Structure 1
Amino acid sequence: MNNAVAGVIQLKVKKWGFAANDPRVAATFTGVGGGLTTLALGVAGGAVAAVGWPALLVTAGVAAVVTGSISLAMDSLYKWLFNSNGTISTSGGGGGNGALVKGGAYVAGSYSTAQYPAPHTKSQAEDDWQRGCKPYNQCTGTTVEASGVHQSTDSGGLPITVYAYNVMKNSNVYTSFSMTLRSTGASMSCDAGMVADKGVCVALQTGTPDGVSNASPSAAVENIPASELNKALSDQFLAAAANAAWKAASNYGGLPWTPSDPVTPADVAAWRAENPSIVPTVGDAIAPVSNGNAVVISPSNSGQPGTGPSTTPGSGTVVDLGPNPNTPAPTLESIPTAQQILSPLLGLMPDIKSFVVPSHSAACPTASFVALGRAYAIDTHCALLETNRQLIEAVMMLCWTLASVFIVLRA
């Protein structure tokens, strides 16, 4: 489960563009592990190995990152709803109330002769224990807990599924027994909610209901049907676990979890397609988060390599590429100098550089006329302008300068 959570987070940050060897990715895993360790210490009072993933996720605030009930296993009707008050509500677990069909599949217990309808549920195990413990007054203070599932064959070579249980009393294992699911051989038919016992259809004596409401994480784990334990964990649950764990990460300089782009079931599906052999089961999801005093989060190195040609030297098909064309290696042009780069700009419009203002000469305009028998000349202003030549030049220079400035600014 730890490797799966880390693998899903690694795939997510890879989609963000971060390489697996990026120091920030390693810091992210360190932060997630540190954050979960802190939470686990608070849950168990210092015993990290005693904390299961459900309790840790509830403490990490998984209800804030998942909406609605989610399937615990792939393609399963059994679902969990994480409540905001830290409890879990379950549904779809069944209650042993299916119909028993003569000659069909059935479940046999260790403590009674009853035959239960398939599929197996925990309520059947509780009923079997009740039938065995009542005659000897051993039922008081006992509870039934699932301890494992394994596949086997019977004496005739037919496949069977064995569900192991522990009977707990005063927090200790009082005794153990098993329930066996067989594919054929039910002795008789019974209606839904009934079991066959010595040729008679009888009702279940006791049993866990289909679901529980507002239960503690440990009670929710107890409600999981034994038939669910070996199923692959759902993408929804693993995505919720990755988001809650990442959100709880300590500040180690890693990449922070973002609510705008969280881990999605689609991300988990992509990771699962690349790592089909290390997908956790429901049993893995309810196991302790660590065997020691710290939660270690790191991707597994057991990714599935793609198939391809053999890499053994000297093996495989020889590919003939033809004669060597002796094509020389490409050469790079020399780097141009600053003068070479600027010369096209500096050499623009060379005619302008040789432009010279042509020489110009002018005379003060005068006028003359004859009137009343006399000749009159208008040239007094020339003497006046010549006297104030320097002042007029300065004023005109200022005027043309201002005119040019206005023209440039308007452009």
Structure 2
Amino acid sequence: MLSIQSAFALDPQAKPDNVSRAMTGALMSRLQNSGFNPNDPRYGNTLARISPQLSGVAGTAAAVTVGTVTAPGWASVALAVGVGAVITYAVNLGIDSLVRWLFRNDGKIDESGDSLPIQTSTAMTIGGAYWKVSFHSGNINIELAGGDGEAIARQGYFEYLSQTNQNTSSTPNCSPSTNQVACGVIFALRQASGAPTSCPAGSMFKNGMCSAYTFVSPAAVPQKTALTPQQATNDIPAVDLEKKLNPAIVAALVNKAWQQAAAQPGYDGLPYPQSKPITATEAATWTAQNPDYAPTIRDFTAPNPATTASPQPWALPQNPTAATTTPATTPNANTTNPAASNAQENLGADPAIGAPTLEQTPTAQMILQPILDLLPDLKNFSPTMASGICPRPTLNLFGHTQTFEAHCAILDNNRDVIRAAMVLAFTLSALLIILSA
């Protein structure tokens, strides 16, 4: 089983500067995507003004001790800068990490964890090596066999809780070894041969058949509240330390630092976008493009002391991908007005320039008149009313003259209806012509 141990006791290879690199990368990506040129003085000023803000916060942050090194880490700076106001939920420290932290506003951390992965991927082959649990006491009878020792031991403990009417969600502390795994009162023993049957990966032999495991996996980190940064750091599972830091934490760090720096007197960088802060997606995009500088959980929680090689450990670098991080300096510092030596133009108390004049405000008639004056010849146009006579054709047949006029009577009797229908048809045709133009 994965053990809970001190995060940095044996590994000195943490790179806290990768956190500042990622912060600069996320910030620069946002500024460039917003249309700001890196040559813009405010661009560099923004980086430079955030660095002192972070240094000031680090001076009040809790220290973290690892081995012989004691100094604030990015984790305690994140608490001090107030990322809890941005990440208001328990967030996984890393991508696919087991441990989650809730950054509280009182400088403490609430922690919880996802389930530890218990191996259940070894198939059992009939007659081959296997693990077994055989426990009989009073009315308790447990007989299990499978290919994975800890899984069988935990399943045996689950069966024990079930048969003794105890809470089956309880998880024991298990002690695995080469040939034995102890979980509470249950022991799983490794057998070199004689597996009773064959069961595929992910299953065990129980009650004469292969069944899926049903035990409850233990949490990597139990639910704990109000921990100091040191306590929370000590609880991080070793398997999590090299996992990539959650980009949401990087985004929250740079957002809070930028927001606080922009509120300081004399700030001359770009304003903080209150309605559109830097997102975790933007931070993740930069780390994906620069995987060599992507920070890990170890980098985030390690002490970050000032050293000869890094005298300003909290300063954001000018170039996040440079071999050596150079802190951003203020481009406008110690500069003078290039026109300061020019003679000042003074127009006096009354330069007699006169008041500006404005054009007459046009009336509605003046605005519409050009339209009304269009095509003056059409103003007096009057259409003529055509008059027609219903045709009455005649036909001479067998010495008689036949006149066809029944249709005239029908048309005259329905004159109004036909007129209305024709008006409607021509109106619709005209409307379609106008709308299609």
Q: When the two structures are superposed, what TM-score results if normalisation uses the length of structure 1?
A: 0.48
Q: When the two structures are superposed, what TM-score results if normalisation uses the length of structure 2?
A: 0.45
